[in-house]
Amino acid sequence: MKSTMTMTDNTTGKSYEFEIKDATRGPSVVDISSFYAQTGMFTFDNGYTSTASCVSDITFIDGAKGELRYRGKPIEELAKNHTYLETCYLLLNSKLPNKEELNAFDLELRHRSFLHEGLKNLFLTFPSGGHPMAALSAATATLSTFFYSHLNINDENEYQEMARRIVAKMPTIAAFAYRHSIGASFIQPDITKSFTENFLYMLRAYPNGHMHIDPEGERVIKPIEVEALDTIFTLHADHEQNASTSIVRGVASTGAHPYVAISSGISALWGRAHGGANESVIKQLEMIGSVDRVDEFIARAKDPKDEFRLMGFGHRVYKNFDPRAKILKGLQDKLKDELNLDSNLMQIANKIEEIALSDEYFISRKLYPNIDFYSGVILTALQIPKTMFTPIFVIGRTVGWITQWIEFKKDKTTKIARPRQLYLGK
Ligand code: SDX
C-alpha cells in the first residue's frame, strides 16, 4: 500500500493525491512530478527551501541535530581519524580504502597533478592581482578541451578516471592561479610530497623550487600545518545539494562535459552568500578591528534597513550548529599556540559568537556560526592569503562535485533541470 498525501484546492473543492516516498534517513518526500499535469498549476518554492531535487546516497545532513555524514560516516570520525585522500576515496567508492587501495589512489593522484604546458598559458592572460577564483573557473573549463575527444561520457570507468584527474589537478590549478596573481613563477607539483603538503609547497616555494629555511633550520612546511589544512579539506569535501552542487547537477543534466560542470560550480561557490563567505569573514573581522566595536556591528546585522550581514553566520540547513564549525573551533583552540593564531581576530570572533548566541534576533532565526566563520582564522595562520580562502574551499569540494556529477549520470531516471515560473509580466 503506497503512502500518499491528498491536497485539496479550496477554490474548486477538487482534491489531488501524491505519493509519499520515505528516506533511509531524514525527511520523506512528496513526489509532485505530476502536480502540473493534475492541477494545471506549478508549485512555488523560493530558493528551494522545501524542495528535494534528486535522489542521493552520498551525503546526509540533519540540520536540527547538527549531523553531517559522508557515505554514512560521521564527519567527526573522518576529520579525526582519516586523511582527506581517504575521504575522497570514500566519497568516490562508497567505502574507505585499505592500505593498498589508498597507496594506489595516492600515487595516481600525485602523477595526475601536473598541468598540460598549454594550459599554463591561460593563467598568463589574467592581470596580476586578478582574483584566483576567476582563473580556477576558466582553467577548469579549459581543462575540458584537453580531455575531450576520447571522452566516452557514458562509461563509468571513464567517470572514475575523470574524477581522479580533476581532484589531482585542482590544487595545481589553484596554486598556479595564486602564483600568477602575485607575479611569481609557477612551481610544479613535487610527487614526493603528500596531496596537502604539495599544495602548500606549490604556494610557498621559491622560483627555483627551494623552500625557505627558517632560522632554526626548520623547513617552513610544518606537519601541524599540513594536518590542519588536510582537516579543512575534509570538512569541505561535500555537502548534499548546496547551491554550487545544484549548479553542477544542473549542468550535468544538459550533458555538458564534467569539467565545465565543475567550472560552473566554482563560479557559483565564489559568491559571498556561499563559499565566498570565508574570505568575507576575515575581511569583516579585520574591519570590526576590536572587540569594543562588536556591538555596533551586531546592531547593524539586526537592522532590516542595513544591508550588513554577519558573514559566517546562518545556514539554510543547520538550525542548531554546523558540526564543521564545531570541529574548526576545536582545531583553532588546539592550534592557537602552535600556529600563533591571531588572538585579536579570535577574540573578535568569539565575542561575536558569544553575543549573537544570546541575542533574540539570532536565536529566533536559528543563526549560528557556519563553517566559514572559523576557517579564515586558521587559514590566515597557515599564511594562506585571503584571496585563496575560497580556492581552498574549491580544492576540498571538487571531489564532492564530481561524485555528485557521477551519481547524476548513473541515475537513469534523471531529467534535464528545467523549472517553471510564476509569470507576473504583461
Ligand atoms: C556555505 O548550503 C550549504 O550547504 C552551503 C555550505 C556548503 O558546505 O556548501 O554550507 C557553505 O555556503 C555556508 C554559508 C556561508 N554564507 C554566509 O555565511 C553568508 C551569511 N549568511 C547568509 O547570508 C544566510 O544565512 C545564508 C545564505 C547562509 C542562508 O540564507 P537563507 O537560508 O536563505 O536564510 P535567509 O536569507 O532567508 O535569512 C533568514 C533570516 C532573515 O531575516 P528576516 O528576513 O526573517 O527578518 O535570517 C536573517 C535574514 O535577514 N539572516 C541574517 C544572516 N543570515 C540570515 N541576519 C544577519 N546576518 C546573517 N548572516
Per residue in 363-386, pLDDT tens?
Answer: 999 999 999 999 998 999 888 999
Q: 242: Cβ below 6 Å to ligand 1?
A: yes
The identity of residue 229, as a single letter, is L
- Higher pLDDT, residue 147 or 178: 178
Q: 365: Cβ below 6 Å to ligand 1?
A: yes
Mean pLDDT of 62-67: 94
Q: 183: Cβ below 6 Å to ligand 1?
A: no
Pairing of strands 29-30, 4-9: unpaired
Q: What is the pLDDT of residue 335?
A: 85
Q: What is the pLDDT of residue 370?
A: 92
The identity of residue 378, as a single letter, is I
To the query of whether residue 372 is one of the catalytic residues in this protein, the response is yes
Q: 239: Cβ below 6 Å to ligand 1?
A: yes
Q: How far is the CA of 317 from the centre of ligand 1 (A)?
A: 9
Mean pLDDT of 23-36: 96
Mean pLDDT of 309-329: 93
Q: How far is the CA of 367 from the centre of ligand 1 (A)?
A: 8
pTM: 0.96
Round the average pLDDT of the chain to a whole number and report it: 94
Q: What is the pLDDT of residue 381?
A: 87
In degrees rounded to 5, what are phi and psi of residue 15?
A: -115, 150
**For ligand 1, atom 35: residue with the closest CA:** 316
Q: 307: Cβ below 6 Å to ligand 1?
A: no
Q: How far is the CA of 319 from the centre of ligand 1 (A)?
A: 11
Band of residue 154 on the pLDDT scale cut at 50, 70, 90: confident
Q: How far is the CA of 276 from the centre of ligand 1 (A)?
A: 13
Share above pLDDT 90 across residues of the chain, in percent, rounded to a whole number:
85
Please name the residue that has the C-alpha cell 548534499: 240
Q: What is the pLDDT of residue 152?
A: 75
Mean pLDDT of 416-421: 97
Q: What is the pLDDT of residue 161?
A: 93
